Structure 1
């Protein structure tokens, strides 16, 4: 439980926000709602519910706030067993309820689709991440929410609500993330009135690719920018404007990039954890496990699982490995505390405008902690997504960059298992580590037993139906002329006041061929290896009502029960559009549906085009292509970038420097450079680079000026799956620079005139 003082004291001073005891006491239910009187006024009247029937239907003007963490494991919050300082979410838990048997989908987009629609993700077209649009043959994998499944923003919009979305979206096909849309799958196309955030799975925290409503905006000139902080600044502004000028209630969703890679946070948050993790992951995981028992988060008889395969004992690591791996976790913990602080700022703002007691807040994660960091961790998440390992020497050389804007960090698997305590395995699996999430529900007017733990089985698709139930909202039969599918989730509203009610009885899971079925305390899991027939997949069986950590596989002992569960999965799969299944790995990034703009073989871009995200840029992976640029220069001194895609961790750039044409391809672990042998003439000139694929993921680059070859060089390796997490710019290299060879010229904007930039693509997509 949070101990209140005059103010919260941290192990390192936090510069941006310090909560007073009054604020935390109010959140924790230790004082009355009148702790702040300067904004009470009309807001107090709005929150009174003298005749409300708590636990059933709330006041019709109640606000809704969804707060979603990203890739944060079951135990990362202190209120769920962590040693990480998270006093603000802890305060919400102290004055609300913690659910310890709440489940999500194994990956992020399906969870987010189920959250916003109250339906199963497969049925609404989001069976896998939105990056992977598999085309019309796979209606369950289109990377977008079907219009037949209206979002909570669309439904509550019909009830007079204003709706605001902030942070990660990841619910529209990545190839649609262009400055000109199409916008129908962006937040404003799905019922939200305002949006500030990013469209894809992740973004840099210090120099992100940001969309404000339907417009890409450049934030690189803003000082001391950190996305989580600015996102909450914007959320608080939305709320201020709303309550100042509007009598209607609001829906707001805060979707943090934390704890998803890249782990990036201001230095002081990393420093506050220096030395904290020198004991290592074995000790910390055991401490969290015991703390979870003390908190009532897991049963007293829960069994401790062994280390996941491939994770060594901490004591068997070298001194350098221990030093490096501890630093990864210091950065991760610092980012978690920083995120918690932003949640505190948001909640404090609700209090300051008199809306805290009148707002139902739900805090959750979208899936378990990720395995992508591999055994050693990662400082370059493009290499990670391309399944290219990063060696210890390289990681140690970048030790001081971990957590900063000079690295794109993911922690090692040993710490991922710690995040997922008490469970085995990781995100993207259907073991509990992948699908069990914290859920904190804070609503002072609707909860009597504050601080308690609820054990009913629930799924993310149940949250929005619960909100509709509490608000007394009926799902419309049609939205914008489109007939609506029924809700799949089940309300758990009664559990807010009744700890004895039953939870959900049946729930299926499927992610790229990995699948599971839960029913009445039993759970069957099918493992799957990429490329293997689904019918050959081995199944496991657990009685999770008695074996919460899934230690005792009863598949051989209970064959009849396993068969029953397998048949139930088939029934649910048919009911909720799980079929056809696919087993996508990173090759999902190679899916380019024919109805997308990215399927074209020719692109023409003009100067001053807005920044274009990589996933919507010309698809050049593993194929021959050329870039042609007609340009004009009045003098040889006019130089700079013609076209650039990516940043310091990967990408390519074509530029003029010292009157030479240069093409550089940044693989992440090596930069390949091709420079012209001749100078580029002044006046009207057409320059061109041509990449000729010679083998898979390698080839020859030739440079031309007015059709004359002036340079040639080999590119020994290109990216197999994902080229970059930073997009394309014309006439400059915005955000981070692809190469350090520009010198001190920053974005290195071209000094001449570019007529256009033409991409011609050859061969198979």
Structure 2
């Protein structure tokens, strides 16, 4: 006999008598999906350019992604925002990135509505919508949608995955992560990887295993309940990490260089029909050297960097294939709507020469080619945070010009594959309709027959700004419905309207041709000048790769499109235009706790992420650790803020107190005590005193005098000629009593846990001398 059920908010339809024999029960109706509702799987790749997947003309093997394309649709006119967090916010909300407060990554947020990094709750996530429809909702991998200063254990958690409609989460909250030593979060709690790199750990297979487990957990209990999974690898973002055997599969395949790659991919794209036959290959970029002009050592190094990238992509494809095969084994593949997309074009964060530490780029530190060449055999392994050079970036975006962070098509045109065997009849077909990341949510809702909700958790919802692509699922000739789309990223602007694109590059058409340095702010006077003379115009219906600038011939059209850009900018919170790049990271932002000059940290607590940690770069500070040393001595890390990409560690080794400073993995400085570590209860301190100005544009933080102290008495001193100017490193959070993740210093294996007893640690940024205030410091620590 079926149960008597009633909907939420309805009155109780049963009968309540004085006893059960004269009463009739009724139950609140559980949230159930429609019968036969499909699963939804978003697969978001990171920094994959238009010309890097096999099914988009690349020589890199991606058989599992290619199989998805063969079983569904490839789009050649898909667009993103040119940067990761902004694009991801569009993918999940169906609203433009400035409407989401994500004009930039969360670490680059500023105090304006379109820039503050706080995705409004009125912009509901697809997870929140589908949760109301009876779906299980899972997020796996990269998140990067929480304000950076709110990603600590202090929360708030309302903008973490579980606060935005996901029932379960496993991944990393930041923009990238070490693939062998990731900073992992399960639901709302930090966790450590279950194995080590030496035991074969790599993030991608870990993410796939957790994804499969989440699906299986629910399907074995409720096989008819659909799921929405947002699956985001750390690949292909730096660091390009992959086991050596995968990179070695490509040995010698890129020895002819990036120019040859572009020509081969361009020809293959025409052969596949991915690009129109009349497409012209964009010019050789002025910022990229001719391959044949490079030295033999440079060609050797750069070819290896690309071999590593290619192996990383094939490795990623392999594990995506495992996830898809799992769906087939469960019998769920046919009725799963799969959307695979990249968040922006190929990345140029490796600089002109590539890098063994991407953090150098964000600190304006120039590369050392000899140092990079010496590392060639270890690139791709856990030792480095590597990224390939601009030449491969440019090649990866074939046939377009430029790359990530810029709104030429190389930065915003991305692969999109949609596969749904039970719902889309077409197989292996191309779709040329204009599309943008904001179109994915409305496409899913139309495909599932769901109306966008007017409220979520009591919050009235804003209109979805994207337009569904579902009308063209089975009709390649269906007209584009998305007719106008603005773009703005780090001051680089463009707009699409009905087959035309106007572009206003900043700081210029290339760095070599720019009149301003990368990351320069845009003044009001400069903006007026740019609007008068800086815009270009392309008929992309006829000129797919933006090679024929028609600004002079179509002046009236250009002026109209510039005006249209400002209309869209006003509508979506794009103002004020900000051309800064790395220096946005220096902005002061609201913190959960009031600003203070002394911070106390405890052993056993979760690592405090960089954006919630004390700001110690380029300023006087001290770290004091209260610890007990047994008679037999001790070793290990007392306090750390770093990883192998940069930071500092305060540790004991071979009976000596040591301060190790990792300057962007370029140079390692060590300050050692001149006398053995004493046993007993003590306060161990390190004092950092700037001795000169920082030179941030040239990648140099302040030089400093570093003093080691025991109970306020100096026991060692050295001078650091240079320190990190902007950001210590992506993993430079505060840890007490160990150095978890990748090792900050090459002197030890992580976590190098302290074998004595650490009681607490104090970070002081008052600039006051530890020696002069040792008694006050002891009292302060004793009171905590």
TM-score, normalization: structure 2? 0.87
Indicate which of 513, 538, 543 corresponds to 1:542: 538
Which of 714, 737, 757 matches 2:743? 737
| Superposed CA offset, 1:457-516 (max 9, x none) | 010101101111111111221111211111000111111012222211100001111111
**TM-aligned CA distance change 1:617 to 1:197, over 3 Å:** same
Question: For the residues of structure 1 that align with 2:421 and 2:653, how far apart are their CA atoms?
Answer: 63
Mapped pair 1:242 → 2:218: yes
Structure 2 counterpart of 1:514, from 467, 492, 498: 492
Q: Which moves more between the two structures, 483-492 or 311-320?
A: 311-320
Deviation at residue 302 of structure 1 after TM alignment: 0.4
Asked if residue 682 in structure 1 is aligned to residue 675 in structure 2, the reply is: no
- How far apart are 1:592 and its partner, in Å? 3.0
* Aligned partners of 1:637 and 1:658 also within 8 Å: no
Q: CA offset at residue 747 of structure 1? A: 2.9
Q: 2:713 aligns with which of 705, 708, 715?
A: 708
Of residues 521, 531, 552, the one that matches 1:531 is 521
Q: Distance in 1 between matches of 2:766 and 2:87?
A: 37
- 1:210-609 to structure 2, matched below 5 A, reads 210-219=184-193, 221-222=195-196, 223-246=199-222, 247-503=224-480, 504-529=482-507, 530-533=520-523, 534-537=527-530, 538-597=534-593, 599-609=595-605
**Structure 1 stretch displaced more, 57-66 or 754-763:** 57-66
Task: For residue 179 of structure 1, give the secondary structure of its aligned residue in structure 2.
Answer: coil
On the 8 A contact 1:60/1:472 being kept in 2, the answer is no
- Offset of 1:60 from its aligned partner? 5.5
Deviations 1:193-236 (A, max 9, x none): 11110000000111111111111111163431111111011111
Match of 1:757 among 737, 761, 775: 761
Q: How much does 1:372 deviate?
A: 1.3
Aligned CA distance change for structure 1 residues 620 and 220 (closer, same or farther; 3 Å): farther
Residues 100 and 117 in structure 2, CA contact (< 8 A), matched pair in contact too = no
- Per the alignment, residue 721 of structure 1 pairs with 726
Distance 2:594 2:712 in 1: 27
Relative distance call for 1:99 and 1:59 in structure 2 (3 A) is farther
Gaps of 5+ in 1: 1-56
Structure 1 residue aligned with 2:8: none
How far did 1:571 drift?
0.3
Is the 8 Å Cα contact of residues 690 and 702 (structure 1) preserved in structure 2? Answer: yes
1:711-744 Cα offsets, whole Å, 9 max, x none, are 22212211112111223321112222222334xx
Give the 3-state SS of the residue equivalent to 2:108 in structure 1: coil
Q: CA deviation at 1:295?
A: 0.8
Give 2:10's aligned residue.
Answer: none
Contact 2:91 2:437 in 1 (8 A): yes
The CA deviation at 1:763 is 7.3
In structure 2, how many angstroms separate the alpha carbons of the residues matched to 1:220 and 1:385?
31
- Tell me the distance in 2 between the aligned counterparts of 1:525 and 1:762: 47
TM-superposed deviation, 1:636: 5.6
Offset, 1:417: 1.0
Asked if the contact 1:373/1:410 (under 8 Å) is kept, the reply is yes
Is the 2:44–2:231 Cα contact (8 Å) retained in structure 1?
Answer: yes
Give how far 1:58 is off.
9.9
Q: Is the deviation greater in 90-99 or in 493-502? A: 493-502
Matches within 5 A, 1:94-243: 94-134=70-110, 137-219=111-193, 221-222=195-196, 223-243=199-219
Tell me, in whole angstroms, the C-alpha distance in 2 between the residues paired with 1:300 and 1:158: 46
Q: Give the secondary-structure state (helix, strand or coil) at the position aligned to 1:721.
A: coil
RMSD: 1.8
Q: Contact between 2:281 and 2:398, CA under 8 Å: does it hold in 1?
A: no
Larger CA deviation: 726-735 vs 677-686? 677-686
Q: 1:633 to 1:427 in 2, by over 3 A?
A: same
Q: Could you say what secondary structure the match of 1:741 adopts?
A: coil
Label 1:747 to 1:598 Cα distance change in 2 as closer, same or farther (>3 A).
farther
Matched residues in 2 for 1:536 and 1:404: separation?
Answer: 47
CA distance in 2, matches of 1:746, 1:722: 21
What secondary structure is seen at the aligned counterpart in 1 of 2:107? coil
Instruction: Give the drift of 1:428.
Output: 0.6
Partner of 2:667: 670
Pair 62,220 (structure 1): closer, same or farther in 2 beyond 3 Å:
closer
- Taking a change above 3 Å as real, the CA distance of residues 66 and 662 of structure 1, as seen in their structure-2 partners, is same
CA-to-partner distance for each residue in 1:8-52, whole Å, 9 max, x for gaps? xxxxxxxxxxxxxxxxxxxxxxxxxxxxxxxxxxxxxxxxxxxxx
Residues 92-146 of structure 1: per-residue CA shift (max 9 Å, x gap) = 1111011100111110001000010011111121111122232xx3122222321
2:352–2:389 CA contact under 8 A, matched in 1: yes
Structure 2 unpaired stretches of 5+: 1-32, 508-519, 695-700, 769-784
Normalising by structure 1, what TM-score? 0.90
CA drift at 1:686: 1.3
